[in-house]
Amino acid sequence: MQIRMPKAMKAMAAAGALALSTLGAHAATAPAELKIGTLYATSGPFAVASQGQYEGLQFWAAAVNKDGGVFVKSFDKKIPVKIVAYDDQSSTSTATTLYNQLITQDKVDILVADFGSVLTSVAVPLAAEHHMLLIDPTGSGANFFTKKTDYLADVSIPSSTVWPVPLGKYLLQQKIKRVAIVYDANDFDASQANTLRDVLVKGGVTPVYFHAVPTSESNYTILLHTVAATNPDAVLEFGYAPNDIAFLRALSQSGLHFNMTFTIFPGQLLSLITKNVGAKALAYTYTYPTPPLVKYDKVSYGMNTAQFVQAFQAAQHKEPNFLDSAGYNTGLIIQHMLDMAPKFEQLAFHQALMDMSGKTTTLLGEFKINENGAQLGQPFPVAQLVPEGSGTKFVVVYPDDKATGKAVYPAPKP
């Protein structure tokens, strides 16, 4: 027998269903503050880069809080941001404990990784285990992005497998045949070295030297003489900033000279590298130039590169480097994610990022991630550091549509 429901009861049922639907889309009570958990390092090999990234994130948080917080679509209101942060001292074991504390004890709403692939590596499995989306600013190691995931998004730096593609194409374009590659035995550097080798081999060039060193390597003197014995036209060293410093110092003191020398971090931390090795040692070497050295004027979200530089200088009384920019960009991506996600849930956050992908441009360039969480936008060109007065200027030499000049090759002897 069919029981007819009175109109008044139907109306009440419909209202109840609407209330439940609204409750599903919006959590019952908006939090008084939005907790963003992250780590930074005040000591150890990653300290300078880590603190730059953290400063950039703090700069973003201060800016949005001055404006009442970030707009959270799921609550239809602005909520102030609170950054919950701990010092991991560049230690993966310490970082593991502290990431776990952020998730299980502090119960942060959003989890942000520390700088780089080494310190991000321990956060990736933890975040997945706890079904927490890991916002990954600068951990670009290829091993993070081997399968589909809802719990990882590389937001401020390309996956390291795509970094050296323009570099490899440039070497082939210049018909440089004898290439020596030295790299750190970590995923960030090894994936770059392997990608570069693949690009070169595909173009008919087999490296004359291909050798891994520990990430802790600080003495390159003997290795440089071994490299020189292969008579290379180009020597490329893939390492973190301390490795680049040790490598360039050893090269400048060795009396050796190569027609082309490439290192990674002068394009990210020029002041640090120059302070430790001197402008003379950097003269005519090559690197990946990064924002704010490379500027993006047309953006769809947040300040463009020049506006960020001006605002950061005014607030911090110093020039921003790439890591400052990456930290700020991380905040921007979180901000846009929250103003798009219809529910205050980790899976909704991830879907919002996927919806933003390919449609968002920030001060770092295009934001574009794949289903594995790898960042495919924001490609790095190739630049040469050319002496100018008492300092150094970057001349972008590849790709051709972004070039600001031609390379000086072979590099002049000191």
Give the pLDDT confidence score for residue 379 in this predicted structure: 82
Counting other chains too, the contacts that 19-28 makes at CB distance below 8 Å and 24 or more residues apart are 24/343, 25/74, 25/342, 25/343, 26/74, 26/75, 26/76, 26/343, 26/344, 27/74, 27/75, 27/344
Average pLDDT taken over every residue of the chain = 93
- Which amino acid is present at 64? V
Using 50, 70 and 90 to split pLDDT, how confident is the model at 28?
A: low
Residue 5 has pLDDT above 60, yes or no: no
Handedness of CA 19, 24, 27, 28 (dihedral sign): positive
Mean pLDDT of 403-412: 96
Predicted pLDDT of residue 412: 95
Q: What is the pLDDT of residue 390?
A: 80
* CATH (one of 3.90.1150.10, 1.25.10.10, 3.90.226.10, 3.40.50.2300) for 34-160+294-367: 3.40.50.2300
pLDDT for 14 beyond 50: no
Look at residue 118 in the predicted model and tell me its pLDDT.
Answer: 95
181 bridge partner residues: 210, 236
Identify the residue whose tokens are 């993966």: 92
Domain boundaries, the chain: 34-160+294-367, 165-287+381-402
| DSSP single-letter state for residue 359 | T
> Tokens for 62?
């201060």
Strand partners, 111: 37, 134
Same fold, 34-160+294-367 and 165-287+381-402: yes
Alpha-carbon distance of 181 to 6, in angstroms, equals 79
Radius of gyration of the chain (CA): 24
Burial class (CB in 10 A: 0-12, 13-18, 19+), 115: buried
Sequence-distant contacts of 295-299: CB under 8 A, at least 24 apart: 296/361, 296/362, 296/363, 296/364, 296/365, 298/361, 299/361, 299/362, 299/363
Of the candidates 277, 238, 280, 284, the one whose C-alpha atom is nearest the C-alpha of residue 258 is 284
Indicate the pLDDT class of residue 374, thresholds 50, 70 and 90.
Answer: very high
DSSP tally for the chain: helices H, then strands E: 14, 16
Q: Is the pLDDT of residue 260 over 60?
A: yes
- pLDDT tens digit sequence for 303-319: 999 999 999 999 999 99
Does pLDDT of 27 surpass 50?
Answer: no
Residues 387/279, Cβ–Cβ less than 8 Å: yes
Count how many residues are written for the chain.
Answer: 414
In 16-118, beta strands by DSSP E: 34-40, 70-72, 77-79, 81-87, 110-112
Please report which helix (H) or strand (E) contains residue 20, including its range: helix 7-25
Could you give the CA distance from residue 72 to residue 360 in angstroms, rounded to a whole number?
A: 18
* Residue 8 predicted with pLDDT over 50: no
Read off the pTM.
0.88
Question: Hey, what are 65's tokens?
Answer: 């809080």
Class for domain 165-287+381-402, per CATH?
alpha beta
Strand-pair partners of 53:
none
Cα-Cα-Cα-Cα dihedral of 14, 18, 23, 28, to 10°? -80
CA–CA dist 339, 355 (Å, integer): 12
Over range 23-31, report the average pLDDT.
60
412 preceded by cis ω (within 30°)?
no
From CA 295, how far away is CA 300, in angstroms rounded?
14
Percent of the chain scoring above 90 in pLDDT: 89
**Tokens read off for 163:** 């970094």
In this prediction, residue 414 has a pLDDT band, given cuts at 50, 70 and 90, of: confident
Contact 184, 213 (CB under 8 A): yes
Distance between CA 176 and CA 164 in Å, rounded? 15
3-state secondary structure of 374: coil
pLDDT exceeds 80 at position 47: yes
pLDDT at 23: 37
Q: Cβ neighbours of residue 328 under 8 Å, at least 6 residues apart? A: 56, 57, 59, 60, 308, 312, 320, 363
**Residues ≥6 apart with Cβ < 8 Å to 319:** 271, 309, 312, 313
- Per the CB < 8 A criterion, the answer to whether 40 and 114 are in contact is yes
Measured CA to CA, the distance from residue 178 to residue 17 in angstroms comes to 70
Q: Are strands 134-136 and 152-154 parallel, antiparallel or unpaired?
A: parallel
| Separation CA 130–CA 148 (nearest Å) | 16
pLDDT digits (tens, 9 = 90+) for 72-115: 999 999 999 999 999 999 999 999 999 999 999 999 999 999 99
CA-CA distance, 356 to 353, in Å (whole number)? 5
